[in-house]
Chain A
């Protein structure tokens, strides 16, 4: 069974600085998808970034980028130039490829990030 582990329950960062959130996962699959979701106090889950396991290049979305290490089964999220609006809980998630006919996301326990002014 697949598992996702986020070892940092809480983190804080000063506004404008850079922070990295860690995520490791366990799977026997060779192809899969990884995601980072953000859940602000409004509770709505928002997709931050996604990575396809067969792609070597790390995904980037503006200030958000990932460090995907497939062999190490590691998928960390780097937030550059942190903004107050980045304060939220961040979830790392795993999904099997579509040919295995499931849309089930497996989430980590989450990391609460506070950006301080």
Chain B
């Protein structure tokens, strides 16, 4: 069974540009969550999608957005990139949102560097 796939693995962008990251969940999983990991702020929740609907959103500016497609694949977009957006972006998938008995599986992340 294939795991959670995040593409690309590495990305270098210039300040002011926009970027789109992709996450393909485990087959059959319908919930996708996104997290930002930085040395200073640690792991912070960005948003959660289930059945193409955003269920929860973290405390990030509107430059951060996302969506989920009918096949459960999810994308997150960051517009007008800032140096502080440099981070590891992790995606997690689970069968259903927020249920204890559905373990969340993480991808290997996308390392975004903004220069």
To the question of whether A and B form a pair in one complex, the answer is yes
Q: Which chain B residues in 35-68 approach chain A with CB under 8 Å?
A: 35, 42-45, 48, 50, 55-56, 58
How far does the Cβ of A104 sit from chain B's closest Cβ, in whole Å? 5
A37 proximity list for chain B (CB < 8 A): 106
Q: Are B42 and A44 in contact (CB under 8 A)?
A: no
Flag whether B2 is at the interface (Cβ < 8 A). no
Contact of A103 with B103 at beta-carbon distance under 8 Å, contacts A42-B108, A109-B42 already known: no
Flag whether A107 is at the interface (Cβ < 8 A). yes
Q: Are A33 and B108 in contact (CB under 8 A)?
A: no
Q: Are A106 and B45 in contact (CB under 8 A)?
A: yes
**Per a CB cutoff under 8 Å, which of A50, A98, A101, A108 touches B42?**
A108
Interface string of A79-105 (1 = CB under 8 A from B): 000000000000100011110111111
B33 proximity list for chain A (CB < 8 A): 103-105
CA A33 – CA B56 in complex, angstroms?
18
B55 proximity list for chain A (CB < 8 A): 101-103
A97 proximity list for chain B (CB < 8 A): 98, 100
How far does the Cβ of B14 sit from chain A's closest Cβ, in whole Å? 24
B45 proximity list for chain A (CB < 8 A): 104-106
With both beta carbons as reference points, the residue of chain A lying nearest to B3 in the complex is identified as A44
B residues near A, CB below 8 A? 31, 33, 35, 42-45, 48, 50, 55-56, 58, 88, 90, 92, 94, 97-100, 103-109, 111
A residues near B, CB below 8 A? 33, 37, 42-47, 50, 52, 91, 95-98, 100-110
